[in-house]
Amino acid sequence: MQNAVDRFLKYITFDTQSSSDSNSFPSTKSQLEFAKILLDECKEIGLKNVELDENGYVTALLEENSDYENKIGFIAHMDTSPDFSGKNISPRIVKNYDGKDILLGNEKILSPSEFPALKNYVGEDLIVTDGRTLLGADDKAGIAEIMTAMEYLIKHDEIKHGPIKIAFTPDEEIGRGCEKFDVEKFNCNFAFTIDGGQIGELQYENFNAASAKIIIHGKSVHPGDAKNIMRNSILIANKIINEFPQNETPEKTDGYAGFYHLHNFSGAVEKTVIEYIIRDFDEKKFDERKKFIEKLVANAGKNFNCQIDLQIKNQYLNMRKKIDKKIISIARQAFEKSGINPIETPIRGGTDGANLSFKNLPCPNIFAGGHNFHGPYEFIPINSIKKAVEVIVNIARL
């Protein structure tokens, strides 16, 4: 199990940030370089049919040693978030955490007063950042856990299992992780993404998601001669924004509550662009949210006598209706064998598993063990890494 920790500390030395500004696939060359490292390691530990395709997907097979019929898969992503630097990560292990503030460096403090989940890990060893970068547990912890579990199963042939496929994917953080994933070639009955947060997370439902871009075309003239002529697209945008429900935003919702999130605003008198993401677990409410924006934009165009363009794009759907209860039952049993109480919470976001589920590969999500992803306060307890390996092995066993 220590191998999982060693692998994780090795993997995070590779800067694999993805980039939404790139049109290539994968979006960054560094992901391909890391993929080659994983390719060689898969071969070294004895996996079969090891491949790195032209799109940067690494796949491999652990051959069956029994007559188990189900073909199962485990998936993790190679990229780290573009939201914060992942270059020259310098981790530190905090031994026997005492429950107090942790001085990270770079004037950053990881404090239980701000991050109360820390209190759950008093007495454990934690891996933290030095305050300059993210850590990369999302999702290099998942990769390390899958690789270690496969190595363990290879060395312990007495553990009977069916065929197991693994895949390491690029560009998950920018929503392209499954874009070119060949489900038919992967050829599994179901799979698990090892990409969740805290120990115990078992997730099989997520937001329905869409994006909305509203483009307001104003009319710019000299302000001294503007009466009854100028149409200031910035002010029109402001009017539109104020029509959205003020309590249905990310900072005011949790649990199963959906929201509208204004995440980008740019403009001048002549043209303003506002961008929203739309989220809801309920499919009917999700459709109602999109229709609300369509009606709002149509009315604004009439009221302000200007052209307003609207582009709504679906991003992913709630995987719940694609997940068989038997799959979740297997995961629950695996957690129980590992002495873990499952935390079955909805994903207030997206996951590769959602898109894969709608490509006919049911794919719930299991914890990788980290906290506070995408920033310098990210940390992961070493015990959570080891327990994730156990869960993977127990799923194979079951």
Of 330, 36, 317, 372, the closest CA to residue 162 belongs to 330
Question: Cα–Cα distance between 356 and 144 in angstroms, integer?
Answer: 21
Domains of the chain as residue ranges with CATH: 2-205+318-397 (3.40.630.10), 208-316 (3.30.70.360)
Residues whose CB falls within 8 Å of the CB of residue 219, separated by 6 or more in sequence, listed in order:
229, 230, 231, 269, 270, 306
What SS3 class is residue 320? helix
List, for residues 142-158, the tens digit of each pLDDT value: 999 999 999 999 999 99
The residue-averaged pLDDT of 222-240 equals: 96
Q: What is the pLDDT of residues 39-95, one digit of tens each?
A: 999 999 999 999 999 999 999 999 999 998 889 999 999 999 998 999 999 999 999
Q: Which amino acid is at 150?
A: M
Residue 315 is predicted with a pLDDT of: 87
Query: Model confidence at 352, in pLDDT bands (50, 70, 90)?
Result: confident
pLDDT digits (tens, 9 = 90+) for 170-199: 999 988 888 899 999 999 999 999 998 999
The type of residue at 297 is V
Task: Give the count of beta carbons closer than 10 Å to the beta carbon of residue 396.
Answer: 21
For residues 306 and 300, give the distance between their C-alpha atoms in angstroms, rounded to a whole number: 8
pLDDT at 322: 94
CA distance 74 to 142: 9
Q: Residue 280, by phi and psi: left (phi above 0), alpha (psi -120 to 50) or beta?
A: beta
CA 124 to chain centre: 26
Residues annotated as catalytic (active site), given as ranges: 79, 172
Main-chain phi, psi angles of 292, to 5 degrees: -60, -45
Full-model pTM: 0.87
How does pLDDT run across 126-139, given as a tens digit for each residue? 999 999 999 999 99
